[in-house]
Amino acid sequence: MIKMLKGFLINLQFFTSIPVPLEIPMDKDYLKKSVQSFPLLGLFQGGIYTILIYICLEWTPFSQLAIALLIWLATILLTGGIHLDGWMDASDAFFSYRDSEKRLEIMKDPRTGAFGVLSVIILLTCRFIFIYEIAKNIQLLSYILIMAIPFLSKSVMGALLLTVKSARKEGLGSLFQSAATPKTLWVYPVYIASYLLAVMVWAQSIQLLSILIIVALGCFFFSRYKSEKWFGGITGDVLGAAVEGTELLLWMTVWLLHYFAME
C-alpha cells in the first residue's frame, strides 16, 4: 500500500502541476506502482473537474460560459500542459511527412512549428465548446462521464506504454518501460470493472459509460498501430499526444451523448 501511494505521488510530480515536496527514489518498485496507478491519477483529475463544475453551477452566480472557461483552464493548469506539449511536438513531426527517424528528430527540437500551434488551437477550441455545451445541459450522469474522461485516457496511456516498443532508448517513456511489463496492466480491468460496478449501484445505468470505454479502446488500438507506423514506437511526446487525443474524443462523445442519448 505504501509503494502504491508513493507511485501515485510520483505521478503527481511528473504529470500534474501539484507540488509534492517529497523526494521519492525512482527505483523499479515505485515506478511499477506508478504505472499501475495511472488510472487512479486520471480518476483524481476527473474528480477535481467534477467537483469544480458542481460547485460553480450550484454555489456561484457565474454564467455557464464563465464556468466552462474555468473548467477548460483547469484541464490545462492541472497537468501543467505536459500532454499538450507532446500533442504539439507530435503534430509538428507528423505533418512533416518525413520518415520515422526524421520525425523523432523533429519531436526533440524545442521549437514549436506552425502545425503544432494550429493543432493545439484546434484541440483547445473544440474542448472548450464541448465543455460549454455539456455545462449547459448538465445532469447527474454527466458528472460520472466527466470523471471517467481522464480515468480512461490515463488507462490508455499506461496500456500504450507497456504494449508498444520504445522508439528511443532514453527519455521518460523508456524509464517507465524499464520498470514494468505488460503483466503490470492486470489491475487496469479491475479498476474499470470497479468503476462500472460503482456507477451501476449509484446511477443504475452503465450503457453510456460503456460507450466511453469502447471509444477509449478504439483510441488505444488506433494509437498503438499509428505510433509504430508513424514514429517507430512510443516516446513521451507520442504518449502525451495519445492522452490529449483520447480525451478530446471522450469529451466529444460526452457532448454527443447529451444530444442523442440523454434527456
71-92 pLDDT, tens digit each = 999 999 999 999 999 999 999 9
> Quick one: cell of 101?
527517424
Q: Establish if 16 belongs to a structural domain.
A: no
Q: Establish if 106 belongs to a structural domain.
A: yes
Provide the pLDDT confidence category of residue 145 given band limits of 50, 70 and 90: very high
φ and ψ at residue 205, rounded to 5 degrees:
-160, 125
Instruction: Yes or no: say if 209 and 144 are a contact pair by the CB < 8 Å rule.
Output: yes
Percentage above 90 pLDDT, the chain: 71
Q: Establish if 12 belongs to a structural domain.
A: no
Domain that holds residue 251: 37-260
Percentage above 70 pLDDT, the chain: 98
For residues 215 and 6, give the distance between their C-alpha atoms in angstroms, rounded to a whole number: 31
Q: How many CB atoms lie within 10 A of CB 51?
A: 12
Q: Say what the pLDDT of residue 114 is.
A: 92
User: Which positions ≥6 away from 5 have C-beta within 8 Å?
Assistant: none
Region 8-31: mean pLDDT is 87
Q: Establish if 19 belongs to a structural domain.
A: no
Provide the pLDDT confidence category of residue 120 given band limits of 50, 70 and 90: very high
> Quick one: cell of 30?
515505485
Instruction: Yes or no: say if 146 and 134 are a contact pair by the CB < 8 Å rule.
Output: yes
Q: Say what the pLDDT of residue 262 is.
A: 84
Q: Say what the pLDDT of residue 112 is.
A: 86
Q: Say what the pLDDT of residue 258 is.
A: 93
Provide the pLDDT confidence category of residue 36 given band limits of 50, 70 and 90: very high
Which residue type is seen at 260? F
Q: Say what the pLDDT of residue 263 is.
A: 67
The tally of domains found in the chain comes to 1
For residues 154 and 242, give the distance between their C-alpha atoms in angstroms, rounded to a whole number: 9
Q: Establish if 1 belongs to a structural domain.
A: no
Q: Establish if 53 belongs to a structural domain.
A: yes
Residue 115: burial class (beta carbons within 10 Å; 0-12, 13-18, 19+): middle
Q: Say what the pLDDT of residue 3 is.
A: 80
> Quick one: cell of 60?
456561484
Whole-model pTM?
0.96
Angle of helix 236-260 relative to helix 114-136, nearest 10 degrees, comes to: 30
Region 123-129: mean pLDDT is 98
More confident residue, 220 or 201: 220
Q: Say what the pLDDT of residue 181 is.
A: 84
Residue 19: burial class (beta carbons within 10 Å; 0-12, 13-18, 19+): exposed
Q: Residue 12 above 90 pLDDT?
A: yes
More confident residue, 133 or 3: 133
Task: Give me the chain's average pLDDT, please.
Answer: 92
Q: Establish if 46 belongs to a structural domain.
A: yes
Q: Residue 171 above 70 pLDDT?
A: no
Provide the pLDDT confidence category of residue 70 given band limits of 50, 70 and 90: very high
